[in-house]
Amino acid sequence: MSWIVLIVAGIFEVVWAVGLKYTDGFSKLLPSMVTACAMIVSFVLLGIAARGLPIGTAYAVWTGIGTAGTVIAGIYLFHESRDWGRVCCILFILAGVAGLKILSR
């Protein structure tokens, strides 16, 4: 169950990271509120997941999901570069996240 909570926390991390782009420096109320709520939910879920997982693993997986998800969202939502170097780096991050899950008890 901790892994599912951690994955959801990572998804909320992507939501708030992408949301930052829409807040326009926190000058737009609705995007700012959605972003702030996603931040809170993401941190709370990370804390819950950390009860059943080693904190180093939980934090690394959480940031890995957030990083890879935010890069992928940036490619699709903001037309950021899709060059092979970026794609390879995302694959390395995902491989690291998978490795941590496999090696966790």
| Pair 82, 30: CB distance under 8 Å | no
pLDDT tens per residue across span 63-104:
999 999 999 999 999 999 999 999 999 999 999 988 888 887
- Write the CA distances from 69 to 9, 54, 59, 101, integer angstroms: 12, 22, 15, 17
pLDDT tens per residue across span 13-67:
999 999 999 999 999 999 999 999 999 999 999 999 999 999 999 999 999 999 9
Cβ burial of 81 (10 Å; 0-12, 13-18, 19+) is exposed
Number of domains in the chain: 1
Cα(70)–Cα(12) distance, rounded to whole angstroms? 11
Question: What pLDDT does 105 receive?
Answer: 67
Radius of gyration of the chain measured on its C-alpha atoms: 14
Domain of residue 57, residue span = 2-103
Model confidence band, residue 4 (pLDDT cutoffs 50, 70, 90): very high
Give 83's DSSP letter.
-
